[in-house]
Chain A
Amino acid sequence: MSAHAHPVSHHGAAPQGFIRRYIFSTNHKVIGIQYWLLALTAVSVGMLLSWLFRTHLAWPHFAIPGFGGAMRPEQYLALVTMHGTIMVFFVLTVAPQSGFGNYFLPIQIGADDMAFPTLNMLSFWVTAVAFFVLISAFFVPGGAPINGWTSYPTLSAVGPIAGPGQGTGETLWVISIGLFCLASLLTALNFIATTIEMRAEGMALMRMPLTVWAWFVTAIVALLAFGVLLAGCILLLLDRTAGTSFFIPAGLVFSDTQPPLNHAGGSPLLWEHLFWFFGHPEVYIAILPSMGVVSTVLSTFSRKPVFGYKAMAYALCAIAFMGFTVWGHHMFVSGMSPYSALAFSFLTLAIGVPSAIKTFNWLGTLWGGKIQFTSAMLFAIGFVSMFVTGGLSGLFLAQPAVDLPLHDTYFVIAHFHIVMGVAAIFGIFAGTYYWYPKMFGRCMNEKLGKLHFWFTFIGAYLIFMPMHWMGIMGALRRYAQPGGLAFLQRMAPIEHFITIAALITGAAQLFFYWNFFWSLRHGEKAGENPWHATTLEWSIPSPPPPENFLEVPRVYRGPYEYSVPGYQEDYIPQHLAPEQVAKAGS
């Protein structure tokens, strides 16, 4: 896009040739868009998979084309496993952090690029390879793995004896996630070094936009979490391929026709600890960047400063730190000591404090503002709604006594889809509507954006609210044939309702696809600063030239100076020198 919009002035600076420019580019903006498009591809695949298994749950005997008759349990489990893996890793981790972070972190701190551009390109391509390795699991003998996105041993460690997809498919899963870890570590160290070392003059830590705070803190979390999963993946791979017994206990028998496996002494719990020591911080890796985006969007479209900016920054740090102390709440049903369960429970409940600080500050930001209901603003408010709803059910699940009966039910599905999946996706949508004009020089269509919002917002609640009730009634997760149990048969109408809601909500995403690609050419021209926003990316042309800034930027004030009394405009950009800011009446 930038080539079309700026054919003259910046050609000399950009690398020549399509491949160096758009494929193996080291420019952070190109890489950001590449990550974003990778996530769009992944989310499309992940959503199609969910359509397939939702259809099966509602109409178990319906023969979906390509499945050779009614869906078999192993096919169902493969779809669920791949849906979870794709969504958590390749959508929720990639889009808000690597996508938006790559594009806007350097610009918002006044840098020309990331600290290590070549490393940045390498990270993206390793991530892309990881995605293709994962998808290839569908096309190997036995198909995709069936052990869920958490890949628990022993199912994941013993090979094809545990199911058709547990052979080559699961090996590909482990390799893909290992590669993903490696790429995420490289991205994280790049983000941290860039934030620490590359800030423009005047960009003190407490003048950084909350988006930058969020990307920075998320990068620290990723840096400390992904290495642990990588270690776990290596152990798992060795158990699978080299005959070691890290996770496989002795005397494991899978069927009466097969002898016990030749392993001894391993502990499946060890994997759970390694996985969730990564896995809980991972949910914050998914949600924190969206929190940053939402803070900025709420402030911009309320024409008010973020309420409690410092508290917001500290709360991000607190959530990130505490996120490393609560992994045990994913393992209450594993038979852990009630004393450690209690400790994990208290720590988990305590995360409610910084989360509530953020929520009330978002509401405080909206309070009394001159609210503009743009598509970005609607999705940001939708994020707050989802975060509160999903957060409240989190308080239920944080208590071991309540979690024990609910853990393996749809209640947990509802909880984490709303608080982490849908909320983070809403943050991604808010960011996309907000930054699209900067990235492509044209605005997205607001009418389509609002249609997209209302369908998605209402649809998400219609899909996931009934799952809470199903969970409380005892509907079990991971069951491919819920109709096989008498007490679950009564829930068939709810299954139908959820599936129809999912199909409609999924179809409504066509508003977004259409809007996104149509607006590239036909959207309203945006200009430098269509939202009258204050941070540095709005001080440069849309789309930005390859080197970002035409003059070396200097920062004079905090990021959310909206409606400051005594000035002509209701926003004061960070880069304007005090003498350039027009006083009221002058």
Chain B
Amino acid sequence: MAQMPPVAEAPPASQLDLEDIGIGPGGPGGGRDGERGPGDRGRPVPQRSYVTGLTMGLAAILMFFMALVSAFIVRKGLSDDWRAFPLPPILWVNTAILLASSVTIEVARRRLARLDISGFRHWWGMTTALGLLFVAGQLVAWRQLVHEGIYLATNPSSSFFYLLTAAHGVHLLGGIIALFVIGLRSWQNARVTRSTATEMAAIYWHFMDGLWIFLFLLLMMGQ
């Protein structure tokens, strides 16, 4: 997706419906948290800072997961009580669903770039639905393990399985909330433009997708 022009400049008329109305200096509602009244001299926050902030957040999330993964490797290597168990096959379906959602979110962003708003909403909604489906599928995988008598505390291998899938699921739920908000937002008082918001959601979504592939491989082959 091409970058939008800096918001401090007046956007061309054709893009007006894509830009956040409240973002510019002196715009209605002010640019920040409603702290600035109309006509106040507040400078807008550069749109790139949202992407930078998100990138930093992802770096922190990566460190969090790498700590868990290194704990996984150390805990497995140090002990003789590790018992592998077959992963529920539904994880393959879930993985396919998540991969598909990474495609649909890109299709949605392309529709947005072509100003096809209804197409955007359609594909964006589909991405959200696929995300929810993935989470539901993960819960089904948990149910199947529980039916087989494999619980959180059964074995370190199952402890890490539940922990990693739960941690990933919680992060993905955060992404789903973002997808909902972006899909339903009226954009009257938002602080980020629609293009930046969708870009951020897509970066986060792909990251969670890639992270899941990594965790899935780890759980499948590392066990």
**What is the interface of chain A, defined by CB distance below 8 A to chain B?**
12-15, 26-27, 111-113, 115-118, 185, 188-190, 192-194, 196-198, 223-228, 230-232, 234-235, 238, 242-246, 250, 264-267, 269-270, 273-274, 277, 546-547, 552
Can you name 12 extra interface pairs (CB under 8 A) apart from A244-B159, A265-B82? A115-B49, A116-B45, A197-B48, A226-B60, A228-B67, A230-B64, A250-B81, A266-B75, A267-B79, A270-B74, A274-B71, A547-B36
Q: Rank and list the top 8 A-B pairs by shortest CB-CB distance, nearest first.
A: A197-B49, A265-B81, A243-B153, A227-B64, A231-B67, A265-B79, A189-B56, A227-B63
Chain B residues positioned under 8 Å from A277 (CB to CB):
67
B41 located at the interface, meaning its Cβ lies under 8 Å from any Cβ of chain A in the complex? yes
A242 touches B153 (CB 8 A): yes
Chain B residues positioned under 8 Å from A265 (CB to CB):
75, 78-82, 156
Separation of A234 and B164 alpha carbons in the complex (Å): 11
A197 touches B67 (CB 8 A): no
Chain B residues positioned under 8 Å from A225 (CB to CB):
63
A238 touches B152 (CB 8 A): yes
Which chain B residue has the least Cβ–Cβ distance from A25?
B35
B35 touches A246 (CB 8 A): no
Chain B residues positioned under 8 Å from A244 (CB to CB):
152-153, 156, 159
Chain B residues positioned under 8 Å from A115 (CB to CB):
45, 49-50, 52-53
Chain A residues positioned under 8 Å from B152 (CB to CB):
238, 242-244
A193 touches B53 (CB 8 A): yes
Separation of A267 and B34 alpha carbons in the complex (Å): 51
Which residues of chain B (182-223) have a CB below 8 Å from chain A? none
B36 touches A227 (CB 8 A): no
A223 touches B49 (CB 8 A): no
With both chains docked as a complex, state the minimum distance between the C-beta of B199 and any C-beta of chain A, in angstroms.
Answer: 15
Chain B residues positioned under 8 Å from A15 (CB to CB):
34-35
B67 touches A274 (CB 8 A): yes
With both chains docked as a complex, state the minimum distance between the C-beta of A286 and any C-beta of chain B, in angstroms.
Answer: 19
B60 touches A267 (CB 8 A): no
B60 touches A223 (CB 8 A): yes
With both chains docked as a complex, state the minimum distance between the C-beta of B102 and any C-beta of chain A, in angstroms.
Answer: 24
B9 located at the interface, meaning its Cβ lies under 8 Å from any Cβ of chain A in the complex? no
**What is the interface of chain B, defined by CB distance below 8 A to chain A?**
32-37, 40-43, 45-46, 48-50, 52-53, 56-57, 59-68, 70-71, 74-75, 78-82, 152-153, 156, 159, 163, 167
Chain B residues positioned under 8 Å from A274 (CB to CB):
67, 71
Mostly, the B contact residues are helix
Q: Which of A118, A227, A246, A270 has a CB less than 8 Å from the CB of B159? A: A246
Chain B residues positioned under 8 Å from A194 (CB to CB):
49
Chain B residues positioned under 8 Å from A270 (CB to CB):
71, 74-75, 78
Known contacts A115-B45, A189-B56, A197-B48; A232/B153 CB under 8 A: no
B64 touches A113 (CB 8 A): no
Which chain B residue has the least Cβ–Cβ distance from A196?
B52
With both chains docked as a complex, state the minimum distance between the C-beta of A543 and any C-beta of chain B, in angstroms.
Answer: 17
With both chains docked as a complex, state the minimum distance between the C-beta of B165 and any C-beta of chain A, in angstroms.
Answer: 14
Q: Which of B36, B64, B65, B71 has a CB less than 8 Å from the CB of A13? A: B36
Q: Which of B41, B46, B60 has a CB less than 8 Å from the CB of A227? A: B60
Chain B residues positioned under 8 Å from A546 (CB to CB):
35
With both chains docked as a complex, state the minimum distance between the C-beta of A60 and any C-beta of chain B, in angstroms.
Answer: 40
Chain A residues positioned under 8 Å from B57 (CB to CB):
185, 189
With both chains docked as a complex, state the minimum distance between the C-beta of A576 and any C-beta of chain B, in angstroms.
Answer: 21
Which chain B residue has the least Cβ–Cβ distance from A277?
B67
Q: Which of B34, B46, B66, B153 has a CB less than 8 Å from the CB of A197? A: B46
With both chains docked as a complex, state the minimum distance between the C-beta of A19 and any C-beta of chain B, in angstroms.
Answer: 14
Q: What are 20 of the A-B contact pairs (CB < 8 Å)?
A: A14-B35, A116-B45, A117-B35, A118-B33, A188-B56, A198-B45, A228-B67, A231-B64, A231-B68, A232-B71, A235-B68, A238-B152, A242-B152, A243-B152, A244-B159, A246-B159, A265-B75, A267-B75, A273-B70, A273-B74
B74 touches A197 (CB 8 A): no
Chain A residues positioned under 8 Å from B81 (CB to CB):
245, 250, 264-265
Separation of A273 and B34 alpha carbons in the complex (Å): 45
Chain B residues positioned under 8 Å from A246 (CB to CB):
71, 75, 156, 159
Chain B residues positioned under 8 Å from A547 (CB to CB):
36, 40-42
Separation of A27 and B67 alpha carbons in the complex (Å): 34
Which chain A residue has the least Cβ–Cβ distance from B58?
A189
Chain A residues positioned under 8 Å from B74 (CB to CB):
267, 270, 273
Separation of A223 and B74 alpha carbons in the complex (Å): 23
Chain A residues positioned under 8 Å from B68 (CB to CB):
231, 235
Separation of A264 and B64 alpha carbons in the complex (Å): 25
Known contacts A113-B32, A197-B52, A246-B75; A13/B37 CB under 8 A: yes
With both chains docked as a complex, state the minimum distance between the C-beta of B61 and any C-beta of chain A, in angstroms.
Answer: 7
Separation of A113 and B44 alpha carbons in the complex (Å): 10
Q: Which of B33, B57, B60, B71 has the most CB of A within 10 A?
A: B60
Chain B residues positioned under 8 Å from A118 (CB to CB):
33
Q: Which of B40, B45, B65, B80 has the most CB of A within 10 A?
A: B45
Chain B residues positioned under 8 Å from A226 (CB to CB):
60
Q: Which of A112, A113, A117, A264 has the most CB of B within 10 A?
A: A112
Chain B residues positioned under 8 Å from A224 (CB to CB):
59-60, 63
Known contacts A244-B156, A244-B159, A270-B71; A189/B45 CB under 8 A: no
With both chains docked as a complex, state the minimum distance between the C-beta of B3 and any C-beta of chain A, in angstroms.
Answer: 14
Separation of A189 and B53 alpha carbons in the complex (Å): 6
Chain B residues positioned under 8 Å from A188 (CB to CB):
56, 60
Q: Which of A111, A226, A265 has the most CB of B within 10 A?
A: A265
With both chains docked as a complex, state the minimum distance between the C-beta of A324 and any C-beta of chain B, in angstroms.
Answer: 10
Separation of A198 and B37 alpha carbons in the complex (Å): 21
With both chains docked as a complex, state the minimum distance between the C-beta of A423 and any C-beta of chain B, in angstroms.
Answer: 27
Chain B residues positioned under 8 Å from A242 (CB to CB):
152-153
With both chains docked as a complex, state the minimum distance between the C-beta of B25 and any C-beta of chain A, in angstroms.
Answer: 10
B71 touches A235 (CB 8 A): yes
With both chains docked as a complex, state the minimum distance between the C-beta of B23 and any C-beta of chain A, in angstroms.
Answer: 14
Chain A residues positioned under 8 Å from B163 (CB to CB):
234-235, 238
Chain A residues positioned under 8 Å from B40 (CB to CB):
12-13, 547
